[in-house]
Structure 1
Amino acid sequence: MMILAFLDLFGMDIPGGEESLLGILAKGGVTMIVLAVLFVVNIYIFFNRVVVISKAKKEPRALLDNVLNAVKSGDLETAKSYCRKDPTPMAKMLKAGLDRITSPLKNIEVAIENVGKIELYYLEKNVSILGMISGAAPMIGFFGTVIGMINAFMSMDKGNVDTSDLAGGIYEAMVTTAGGLFVGIIAYISYNYIVRQIEEVVHNMEVASIEFVDMLQAPTLQN
């Protein structure tokens, strides 16, 4: 079905309609099964990361302002409560800083940085698989095509092969290339979209940590 949509998108006619295409996909054998599995894995990881990142991208300004104002007024418990109620990575970083607010500034910075690394790891979980699929899927498709071409020419070498049968075998083999490219393109777009969204979250985390540390260095807090 996904190959049918891909071919229809570019105005390519499929002999025999959808049933003929499904028959061709079935003849693709293991290659098409592998591509189908990669496609499902890609879709699952993509939507899983979208959900996780959408929660992490919650508007950071309100939380940061509330925490900074509470710390400036000396109400650390209120500042910590703001962080506990917020599930974002930025809130966890600020909470780590608040827990060590009586420690040297260097220790506070290290604590915030360590939590940030852990949160970044969770955000990037399985994202590299999307990159792998974007590169591997086209190659798997080409591999399936080469195998199909080899089989077609082996049959021709044996003789008594009808030209239409040979042509049919070749375009059946080419479907694996289309399938590989389709899965690869979807994975490539998914990967780059997720990476861009993670960069926005990381930027917000960096801004929050810098403002928090700058506030701690203010003369009114140091005295």
Structure 2
Amino acid sequence: MLLILLQAVSAELTPPAATEPVVTQSYFDLLLKGGWILLPLFLLSLLSLYVIIDRCLVLKRLGSKDPVWFSRVWELVQEQKPEKAVKFCHGRSNASAKVVAAGLKEYKSDDQAIQDAMQIEARQQISIMESQMNYLGITASIAPMLGFLGTIFGVITIFYNISITNDLSIASISDGLYQKMICSGAGLFVGIIAYTGYYLLNSRIDRIVLGIDKDSNEILKAIRSIKRGEIAEVEAEED
């Protein structure tokens, strides 16, 4: 009985063992566990952001709305001053102004020549707007595949650690799980950014193209009406 009391007293007097501190890791440290696959994913993310920002600036310039410009060009066409209208168009940076200027340069030609000139210039403007867009499409396709490749490497790491340690504990497979999940998440994240940017920019390009078609058709109608009036006046004088 005395021995039991002495053991109880000694247990109370013995200080409790120090608990091991919980090791916390930053998000950057966790990302590093993804392995070398994160390097190409990081480069693809930088490329996507660069293309998105660059195309946004270009589309903002080419797709800017300028009602004053169109009304002024309309007035100059009605006054039969195509040279001044072309000069006024060159002072604007939007795509519609460049397309209309290309058609007005062929003012003295027939309608087909004017329309062909506008179509050629419109294709050039569309080519400028769609430049580098293929990089976003490629990134949207490749990034998830790279993430899946990192997932495969993570699974390989898990089975390799199990074969070496012959242990199925979380500690032995945590490295592979980290790599598997981080690579999958990073690949999907980069792919989503690229796909979203590609879709939104293409929608913006489609709206700009519709505006180009509208402006060029309105100017072409004005030119046709003026030429029809000139032909009517010539026929009236001959009669």
TM bucket (normalised to shorter chain) is: 0.7 to 0.9
Q: Which amino acid aligns with 2:82?
A: L
Question: Aligned equivalents of 2:59 and 2:84: distance in 1?
Answer: 26
CA RMSD of aligned residues (A): 1.7
Gaps of 5+ in 1: 1-14
User: 1:156-207 CA deviation, whole Å, 9 max, x = no partner?
Assistant: 1233446213134213321000001111111111111111111111111010
Contact 2:126/2:209 (CA < 8 Å) preserved in 1? yes
The amino acid that maps onto 2:210 is H
Q: Please name the residue that 1:25 is paired with.
A: 31
Q: Secondary structure at the match of 1:30?
A: coil
Q: How far apart are 1:23 and its partner, in Å?
A: 2.6
CA separation in 1, counterparts of 2:117 and 2:187? 45
- Is 1:124–2:130 an aligned residue pair? yes
**Structure 2 partner of 1:69:** 75
Give the Cα–Cα distance (whole angstroms) in 2 for the partners of residues 222 and 153 of structure 1: 86
Distance 2:231 2:71 in 1: 19
- 1:197 aligns to 2:201 (yes or no): no
Find out whether 1:174 has 2:176 as its counterpart: no
Identity of aligned residues (%): 26
Q: Is 1:92 aligned to 2:98, yes or no? A: yes
SS in 1 for 2:107: coil
What amino acid is aligned across from residue 209 of structure 1 in structure 2? S
Aligned residues: 207
Rg larger for? 2
What is the CA–CA distance in structure 2 between the aligned matches of 1:33 and 1:155, rounded to whole Å?
Answer: 24
CA distance in 2, matches of 1:182, 1:216: 51
- Rounded Cα–Cα distance in structure 2 between residues aligned with 1:30 and 1:91: 49
Cα pair 2:82 2:105 within 8 Å, conserved: no
SS, match of residue 169 in structure 1: helix
Please, which runs of 5 or more residues in structure 2 have no aligned partner? 1-22, 233-239
Label 1:96 to 1:222 Cα distance change in 2 as closer, same or farther (>3 A).
farther
Q: Under a length normalisation based on structure 1, what TM-score does the superposition of the two structures give?
A: 0.86
Identify which range, 44-53 or 140-149, moves more after superposition.
140-149
Residue deviations 1:34-93 (CA, integer Å, cap 9, x gap):
110010000000000000001112114322221121011012222112111001111111
1:133 and 2:132 equivalent? no
Tell whether the 8 Å contact from 1:60 to 1:204 is kept in structure 2 after alignment: no
> Which residue pairs with 1:47 in the alignment?
53
